[in-house]
């Protein structure tokens, strides 16, 4: 769009909405008409189909009891694999490479237990200093379980500016001591998209296993994990995928590793045809299903089915196209309408490096977020000075973006934020 000839009128926002081929999907969601929800990168809104899928699951439990595992329209025993097949297009994988299971951190523990095999000089894990804390906690725990000191054996690539991590710096850290690499696909704070294809190639050239945390990219942008040859990936499904708070997460394992015994085995790691033999010798599934641990949480799994039906219809390429348009439009409005208020755009500007949200920095960020919520604009504060605004392609409009920035401008003009303390709440 560009700011030089930028039309900042509301009429232009409405025109963009009229041209939006995904506009009708907003009707699929429970959207409060009196508020603007811009926090879909933390928790996506409930869709009517996700709600219906949960109701259907409850009905099958009510009507079938234990027979729900093998009978009805959606037998529970095979639901994780079915949803793995539905998730596969979102990560660019084959159905057998994906399973819906666990939670983000449990899945990371599973994958590190499976793929981290320190030997000789190769004893260290490579990560970055900007990744989400939970990932670091898990990596530290796995190192300790193997008898290594995380201070020495967890290598975290430094950021040059506190916002992004340069891919070349990551590559330069791929020393002969690195046994495993775990990186985010998108930096949760700045929204930087890492070049996963390049990093996978460089890791494999050095004989290093590499995997990615897709929490902040799945459902917002397309991936080609199988084509790139990434060894593994994991993610949550409650952000852009809209499967509900604490929803069941996902795992991808490249087909070249299928058949490999899971590091953390459990009953649902079994080949399904042998699971009820009750043998004490595990026969792992020959799909990503082998990396399940416990019984699927059906009530947290069901909404994912309804949500993924919407993604199949909307298409991830179209979603990405609109997401880039929405975030570009928001940045143009910020530069035009908020240039004198001390805001800095901290996310990458280029389309190929920008994820699904806009990251604004301001010294008064915490109290500005509180003022936005008071005005029924729902943002996301990130310590110490970040405001994440996420116009989500499936349920946000260009008018939402225009209104949100005008409200933010009024907050700054009227100094409404000064009535709040400039510190985060317990949950931010």
Q: Residue with structure tokens 């116009």?
A: 391
CA-wise closest residue to 107 among 288, 244, 275 = 288
Query: Tokens 């009708």 — which residue?
Result: 24
* Residue 11, number of CB atoms within 10 A of its CB: 9
CA-based nearest residue to 190, from 156, 224, 161: 161
Cβ neighbours for 413, distance < 8 A, ≥ 6 positions apart: none
236/231 Cα distance (integer angstroms): 18
Rounded CA-CA distance 313/173 in Å is 41
20 is in an annotated binding site: no
Binding site annotation covers 133?
A: yes
Residue with tokens 């085995």: 265
Distance of CA 61 to the CA centre of its chain: 30
Q: Report the C-alpha gap between 272 and 408 in whole angstroms.
A: 54
In 338-364, alpha helices (H): none
DSSP 213-239: E-TTTTTTS---HHHHT-SEEEE-SSS
- Sheet with 209-213: strands ordered across: 98-100, 250-253, 232-235, 209-213, 178-184, 124-128, 154-157
Q: What are the DSSP E strand ranges found in 232-342?
A: 232-235, 250-253
Residue 286 assigned as binding residue: no
The verdict on whether residue 132 carries a ligand-binding annotation is yes
Residues with Cβ within 8 Å of residue 359, at least 6 apart in sequence: 163, 189, 190, 191, 345, 346, 347, 382, 386, 387, 388
**Separation of alpha carbons 69 and 79, rounded Å:** 9
104 known ligand binder: yes
Instruction: Count the neighbouring beta carbons within 10 Å of the beta carbon of residue 341.
Output: 15
295 annotated to a ligand binding site: yes
Q: Is 135 annotated as a binding residue?
A: yes
Q: What's 338's DSSP letter?
A: S
Q: Cα separation of 18 and 38, whole Å?
A: 21
398 annotated to bind ligand = no
3-state secondary structure of 209: strand
30 marked as binding residue: no
Residue list for the binding site for pyridoxal 5'-phosphate: 104-105, 132-135, 213, 216, 238, 267, 295
Residue list for the binding site: 104-105, 132-135, 213, 216, 238, 267, 295
């Amino acid at each position: 769009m560009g700011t030089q000839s930028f039309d900042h009128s509301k009429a232009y926002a409405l025109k963009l909405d009229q041209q939006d081929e995904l506009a009708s999907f907003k009707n699929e969601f429970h959207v409060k008409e009196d508020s603007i929800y811009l926090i879909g990168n933390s928790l996506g809104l409930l869709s009517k189909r996700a709600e219906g899928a949960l109701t259907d699951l409850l009905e099958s439990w009510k009507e079938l009891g234990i027979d729900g595992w093998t009978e009805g329209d959606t037998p529970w025993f095979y639901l994780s694999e079915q949803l793995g097949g539905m998730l596969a297009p979102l990560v660019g994988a084959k159905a057998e490479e994906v399973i819906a299971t666990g939670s983000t951190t449990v899945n990371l523990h599973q994958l590190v237990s499976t793929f981290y095999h320190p030997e000789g000089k190769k004893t260290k894990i490579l990560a970055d200093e900007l990744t989400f804390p939970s990932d670091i906690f898990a990596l530290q725990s796995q190192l300790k379980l193997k008898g290594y000191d995380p201070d020495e054996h967890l290598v975290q690539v430094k950021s040059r500016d506190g916002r992004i991590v340069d891919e070349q710096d990551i590559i330069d850290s791929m020393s002969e001591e690195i046994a495993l690499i775990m990186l985010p696909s998108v930096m949760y704070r700045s929204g930087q998209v890492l070049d996963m294809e390049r990093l996978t190639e460089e890791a494999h050239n050095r004989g290093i296993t590499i995997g990615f945390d897709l929490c902040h990219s799945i459902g917002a942008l397309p991936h080609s994990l199988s084509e790139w040859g990434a060894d593994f990936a994991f993610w949550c499904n409650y952000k852009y995928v809209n499967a509900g708070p604490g929803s069941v997460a996902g795992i991808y394992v490249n087909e070249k590793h299928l058949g490999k015994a899971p590091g953390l085995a459990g009953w649902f790691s079994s080949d399904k045809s042998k699971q009820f033999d009750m043998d004490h010798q595990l026969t792992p599934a020959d799909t990503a299903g082998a990396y399940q641990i416990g019984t699927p949480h059906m009530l947290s799994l069901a909404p994912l089915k309804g949500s993924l039906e919407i993604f199949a219809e909307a298409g991830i390429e179209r979603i990405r196209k609109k997401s880039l348009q929405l975030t570009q439009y928001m940045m143009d409005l910020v530069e035009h309408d908020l240039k004198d208020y001390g805001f800095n755009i901290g996310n990458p500007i280029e389309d190929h490096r920008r994820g699904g949200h806009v990251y604004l920095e301001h010294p008064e960020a915490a109290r500005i977020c509180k003022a936005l919520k008071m005005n029924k604009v729902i943002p996301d504060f990130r310590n110490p000075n970040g405001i994440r605004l996420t116009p989500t392609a499936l349920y946000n409009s260009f008018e939402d973006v225009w209104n949100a920035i005008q409200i933010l401008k009024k907050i700054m003009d009227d100094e409404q934020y000064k009535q709040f303390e400039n510190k985060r709440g317990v949950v931010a």
